[in-house]
Structure 1
């Protein structure tokens, strides 16, 4: 591990135009389960007999909002979660002028809570919600305050946008994220099983994933382990403050 950390620190040190691409694995140490964890939660639920995509279906959420929110609170909705060292490292790297921005598949808003400014959310985030009756927009405070949030104007259920869109990606965010990645001099890929081959091959990469083993080949450093632990070590090596 120490050799891989030294290699990663060397790749990051003095480099500008770094871009991060993050998935669910960066947030597990903040108490938010990844898709495998969510699948396990749902399969153990005696009242629900469907998978994650059945739960995140606009028709299901609209027709049975009470059941949807019961499951949503067990899986995705964790407003009490706080950024971990991985989120804070990336935010500080941006503040130093080394990180150009983040493209993320996460909806948890933790990058912004850590202080990151340039974040492109491919699926939006859980703060964006709409009334299914009058279509007014609401932030996540209704869901924090009400077991099943209802519109105070028309009384209809309020559902997260990413569910109402049936997990369709935000094309503008994806386009902006891809443009950002295309200009990167170094790409840090964290907590996702997305293949490195789906990113430009010419860009050196640091890939951090708990399911992988350490190796370096073709300008690609792979570090296996928990993201928060790895970024904590990198922060110590590069003297990066990871406190909020």
Structure 2
């Protein structure tokens, strides 16, 4: 059963505008970070936007001449589509979900720094790009898996993202001839139980939960934040979310800019 959030909403009257308004919010975030000792960050696709990785839902889908049909992005990354139309699945997967040249942006770098300071205890991410680890973060719970891990469905041999990108059509295991599947949670598939339990454990122990770069519409991942029972709930997202009214602090701006400035000022 989900726990209830017990976050007193802090009402702050701002009389500034523009940059002054954003600076005041960032200063408030910096103060929260200074006073916190067990921070967890829960992030979504917006965290990687500055790394030029768009949300796959922004795709217009794919028209398949072979199948004579147009499919939505959600259909294209479903387990059913993967099983029935593997060639079309991997075409979309390689074009829209793997970005081999992407590098960590200021949000990833700032969070890694916060972990090094001993403040940030865990990152719970819905992203599959591996940029948090590339930036130096150690304790990362990848709810939806990672494009950097791929395994043969028969012999379980490991393959990296480069192998998938170079494969013509459906990637085939060089050892046994089985199909190589990305360790990415597709629609219709369940989340990894160990990852879920790890994320729940981290969130439930946190004194501050920062939610960033996500509109909180993808379940069951978004539901994990309901396990938070700490002091400070912070929302950083360009648009409003369903949890805004429960937060101590809401900042509607680019998360890479906000996090980098807040942590740099500590």
TM-score (norm: length of structure 2): 0.78
Deviation for aligned residue 1:49: 1.7
CA contact (8 A) 2:74 2:187 kept: no
Determine which of 15, 18, 21 is the counterpart of 2:42.
21
Aligned partner (choices 175, 195, 199) of residue 177 of structure 1 = 199
Indicate conservation of the 8 Å contact 2:105/2:256, yes or no. yes
* Residue 161 of structure 1, CA deviation: 2.4
Cα shift readout 1:58-98 (whole Å, capped 9, x = no counterpart): 34324433322221123211122111110111111101111
Q: For the structure 1 residues 29 and 83, does the alpha-carbon distance in structure 2 shift closer, same or farther, using more than 3 Å as the test?
A: same
Match of 1:82 among 92, 100, 103: 103
In the TM superposition, residue 199 of structure 1 has moved relative to its aligned partner by 4.2
Match of 1:168 in 2: 190
C-alpha RMSD over aligned residues = 2.5
Contact 2:152/2:180 (8 A) holds in 1:
yes
Counterpart residue number, 2:63: 46
Instruction: Give every structure 1 segment of 4 or more consecutive aligned residues whose post-TM-superposition deviation is greater than 6 Å.
Output: none
Q: Which runs of 5+ in 2 are unaligned?
A: 1-21, 217-221
The residue that corresponds to 1:241 in the other structure is: none
Larger mean Cα displacement after TM superposition, 64-73 or 101-110: 64-73
Q: What CA distance in whole angstroms lies between the structure 1 residues aligned with 2:246 and 2:155?
A: 53
Task: Give the CA deviation at 1:153.
Answer: 1.8
Q: Pick closer, same or farther for the CA change 1:128–1:166 going to 2, 3 Å.
A: farther
Aligned pairs (5 A) from 1:69-218: 69-148=90-169, 149-163=171-185, 166-194=188-216, 198-212=226-240
Of 96-105 and 157-166, more deviation after overlay is shown by 157-166
Q: Secondary structure at the match of 1:225?
A: coil
How far 1:23 moved relative to its partner? 1.2
- SS state of the match for residue 7, structure 1? helix
Task: Please state whether the residue corresponding to 2:265 is helix, strand or coil.
Answer: helix
Q: Which runs of 5+ in 1 are unaligned?
A: 239-244
Distance 1:60 1:135, change over 3 A: farther
Cα distance per residue 1:137-189 (max 9 Å; x no partner): 32223113334332112334322122578442111111111111111111111
* Alpha-carbon separation, structure 2, partners of 1:152 and 1:188: 43
TM-score by length of 1: 0.84
Aligned counterparts of 2:83 and 2:152: Cα–Cα separation in 1: 10
Larger Cα Rg: Structure 1 or Structure 2? Answer: 2
Q: Secondary structure at the match of 1:69?
A: helix
What is the alpha-carbon distance in structure 2 between the residues aligned to residue 62 and residue 129 of structure 1? Answer: 16
Distance 1:135 1:60, change over 3 A: farther
Deviation, 1:24, is 1.3
Greater displacement, 4-13 / 198-207 = 198-207
Q: What is the number of residues matched between the two proteins?
A: 232
Q: In structure 2, what is the Cα distance between the partners aligned to 1:84 and 1:66?
A: 32
Shift of 1:218: 6.2
